Amino acid sequence: MPHSQEPRTGRFAPSPTGDLHSGSLVAALASWLHARQQGGAWLLRVEDIDPPREVAGSAASILAALSRLGLQADAAPLYQSQRGDAYATALQRLRDAGHAFPCWCSRSDLDAAHAIHHELHRDGHCFTPRRGDREPAWRLRVPDTVIEFDDGLQGAQRQNVRSEVGDFVLKRADGLWSYQLACVVDDAFQGITEVVRGCDLLDSTPRQILLQCLLGLPTPAYLHLPLAVDGGGRKLSKSTDAPAIDACDPRNALAQALRFLGQDVPDASDVATMLQFAAQDFDLAPLRGMTASAVDA
C-alpha cells in the first residue's frame, strides 16, 4: 500500500547523460508542484550509476538549470555513485533470504537463447555453466505473483513480473548496480512518499514494488506523467538529441512545461511568484489516462 505518513516527500532523479531538456523539465516541475501543493519536501537524486553513459559536467549543468528555474530542493542532492555500500547490503539481504542468484549468461548467450526460444533462466536458476573468467551478474529470483497498484494518473495497473519480465538483474557482471535496486533503496533512504515521473518508467514500477516487498521497504504513491514527445511522436530525451532548455529564460521554459501539464500560466513577472501560484492551483486531472503528448514549439 502507498506510504501514508507525514511528511510527504517527492523527488526528481535525473541521470547525468546530458543537459536538462523539455521532457525532463516536465517531470521535475510536476514533482516539485505536487510536493509543494501538499506542503511537502522535494529532494534531488543524481542517478550516476552507469559511468559509460555519463556525460562529463552533466550533473552540474542539470542542477544549475534547476536552480535558475527556481526549483530548489530541501536538501543537498544524493549521488548514487556514493551509495554502493547500501546497494551491497540490500543485495546481501536478498541473497541471504534466497531471493537472488548468480548468473553467468553473456549478452550473446541471451540473444542466442531468445532467437531459438530457449530459456536460460527458469525457477530462479541459471542454466549457463559457471565461468571462471568473470564475475556473475546477480538476478532476482522472481516469484510467480501479480503486482497490482493504482497509479495516480494511469489508473489500475497489474503485472505478473515473472511471466512478463522474468528474473531481472540487480547487479551487472561488470559490477555496476541496476537502476531497479538502486532506485528502491534510495527512495526508502530519502523517505520518498510520492514518485512523479514519466510513463516510460511505468513498466518498471511493478519490479520496484516487488523489491520493496522483499526488502521490507515502504511503497510510495506513484503518478506517471504522459511522455513529452516531438511533432513526430518521438520521446524527448537525451538519446534523441532533444534540445536543452534555455535556463537563461526560466519564465518561458516554465510556462511551456506548465502548458504541457494542462495548467494555466500565472501572470507573474518573477519565477518565484510564478511557481507559488502554480503550486496553489496545481491539478493534473487534464492529463489523466494520457500516456504521451507533444510539447509546444
Residue 115 pLDDT: 46
R_g of the chain, CA atoms, integer Å: 20
Same domain, yes or no, for 151 and 220?
A: no
| Residue 1 forms part of a structural domain | no
Same domain, yes or no, for 142 and 263?
A: no
Same domain, yes or no, for 108 and 25?
A: no
Closest CA to 204 of 138, 145, 147, 156: 147
Among 120, 140, 171, give the residue marking a domain's end: 171
Q: Which residue has the higher pLDDT, 15 or 285?
A: 15
- If you average pLDDT over every residue of the chain, what do you get? 88
Distances in whole angstroms, Cα of residue 214 to Cα of each of 91, 108, 122, 137, 211: 11, 30, 19, 19, 5
Residue 124 pLDDT: 62
156 strand-pairing partners: 150
Closest CA to 45 of 86, 82, 74, 79: 79
Lowest mean pLDDT among 74-78, 108-112, 216-220, 242-246: 108-112
Same domain, yes or no, for 74 and 212?
A: yes
What is the pLDDT confidence band of residue 36, given thresholds at 50, 70 and 90?
very high
| Residue 191 forms part of a structural domain | yes
pTM of the model: 0.89
Q: Is the pLDDT of residue 194 over 90?
A: yes
Share of the chain above pLDDT 70, in %: 82
| Residue 180 forms part of a structural domain | no
Residues 54-61, mean pLDDT to the nearest whole number: 96
Q: Which residue has the higher pLDDT, 1 or 96?
A: 96
| Residue 177 forms part of a structural domain | no
Residue 3 pLDDT: 44
pLDDT digits (tens, 9 = 90+) for 93-131: 999 999 999 988 876 665 554 544 455 665 566 766 676
**Domain coverage including residue 143:** 98-171
Count: domains in the chain: 2
Same domain, yes or no, for 200 and 283?
A: yes
CATH number of the domain where residue 153 is located: 3.90.800.10
| Residue 89 forms part of a structural domain | no
**Residue 112 and residue 118: Cα distance in Å, rounded?**
8
Same domain, yes or no, for 167 and 230?
A: no
Q: Which residue has the higher pLDDT, 4 or 200?
A: 200
| Residue 55 forms part of a structural domain | yes
Same domain, yes or no, for 141 and 200?
A: no
Same domain, yes or no, for 193 and 286?
A: yes
Same domain, yes or no, for 137 and 256?
A: no
Same domain, yes or no, for 209 and 70?
A: yes
| Residue 145 forms part of a structural domain | yes
| Residue 91 forms part of a structural domain | no
Residue 105 pLDDT: 80
CATH number of the domain where residue 287 is located: 3.40.50.620
